[in-house]
Structure 1
Amino acid sequence: MKQPAQSASRTLALLLLVLAFAGTAGAQAPAPARIGYVDMKRLLDNAPQVVAGRRTLEREFSARDAALKADEQRLTDLRRKQSTLAKTEADALQREVDALDRSIKRNREGLRSELKTRSDQELDRSWREINDAVVEFAREQGYDLIVPSPVVYASPRVDITDRILDRLRRATPKSPAP
């Protein structure tokens, strides 16, 4: 009758051994992954590098934009004047109105195209700097994964956007007010 008792003690010993290994395996398990979230739209709207790029573009294109607006105002004035003239005088003025209208459309399209190209260049330059700041932050803080927007949901607890913005602001030299 010793066999059932021996079997029970062997089972108990085996169970204790399994539990001991399970506890050891749990202690050796890697730490949970550290994940962060970055709202890229907010980052690209508020990063000082992007804001400075916008100001540069405004200064670069302001004279051409003002000239275009002046031409548009002149066209409006000519059309008003044309509506008050006699038919023969209005017909003579029509050629000038048409030529100015074509010129405005051509200039507006050229300005729009050049502005788009320059905006893309500025954004590309800023994007590299912003991306490098995110990667550097993640490495320094021990993150395993940074998820950019858009996502379905990200808890405010994992949102590191403000911390990245602070880093970018500290890295950007203050420029004197224009």
Structure 2
Amino acid sequence: MVLTLMSVPCVGADQYKIGVVDPNRVVELSPQYEAAGKALQVEVEERERNLRQQQEQITILQRKLERDSALMSESEMQRLQNDIRSRTRKLKYAQDEFQEDVALRQNELRTKLAKQVREVVVELAKEQGIDLVITEGLVYYSPRMDISDLVIERLKRDSSNK
């Protein structure tokens, strides 16, 4: 249906100029995506290291309990078991919170990048005199209609200007 409408000129108007953007390719090849990924990785590494240290401390305490339980009094053994349980609960909570925070941060970065891409697409469409830009859910389009490379180049230019 859309193809039929595109090929029929309107009264008093030239044919429409249409562009296609592959959002996945634009995002994956943009320097902003790479920079966001690196920034997220830096944020994540410190918390992962902290979680690993907590797990290692629990493992050390568990080994101590296994190794020394025969030599411990009942109250010492109970105190160590409670400490292990408490640390394990805190670690589980911290891991869950970490996963939620990473997902939230990824979503924030994706939203920010999508906004940048949308702004560049609108800017390019206006500069190139493109009447309609289509994205996602396409069955076929001619490569000559694809403006993804132009969007990527503009994102690279914008990235280097900052």
Q: Shorter-chain TM-score category?
A: 0.7 to 0.9
**Partners of 2:83 and 2:64 in 1: CA distance:** 12
Corresponding residue of 2:154: 167
Q: CA RMSD in A?
A: 2.8
SS at 1:36's partner residue?
strand
Kindly indicate whether residue 98 of structure 2 is the aligned counterpart of residue 115 of structure 1: no
Kindly indicate whether residue 118 of structure 2 is the aligned counterpart of residue 144 of structure 1: no
Q: Which ranges of structure 1 fall in alignment gaps of 5 or more residues? A: 1-25
Kindly indicate whether residue 25 of structure 2 is the aligned counterpart of residue 42 of structure 1: yes
Task: Please list the CA deviations of residues 113-139 of structure 1 after superposition, one character each: whole Å capped at 9, or x if unmatched.
Answer: 223333333333322221110111111
**Identity rate of aligned residues, in percent?**
28
SS at 2:40's partner residue?
helix
**Partners of 2:106 and 2:130 in 1: CA distance:** 32
Deviation at 1:171, TM superposition (A): 1.2
Corresponding residue of 2:84: 97
Q: Relative to structure 2, which stretch is displaced further, 83-92 or 68-77?
A: 83-92
User: How many residues end up aligned between the 2 structures?
Assistant: 149
**Partners of 1:87 and 1:162 in 2: CA distance:** 69
Q: Which ranges of structure 2 fall in alignment gaps of 5 or more residues? A: 1-8
**Partners of 1:125 and 1:64 in 2: CA distance:** 23
- Give the counterpart letter for 2:38 in structure 1: R
**Partners of 2:46 and 2:60 in 1: CA distance:** 21
Corresponding residue of 1:19: none
Corresponding residue of 2:5: none
Shift of the 132–75 alpha-carbon distance from structure 1 to 2, 3 Å rule, reads same
Corresponding residue of 1:20: none
**Partners of 1:157 and 1:124 in 2: CA distance:** 28
Computing the radius of gyration from Cα coordinates, the structure with the larger value is 1
TM-score (norm: length of structure 2)? 0.73
Shift of the 102–143 alpha-carbon distance from structure 1 to 2, 3 Å rule, reads same
Mapping for residues 1-178 of structure 1, pairs under 5 Å: 30-84=13-67, 86=69, 93-173=80-160
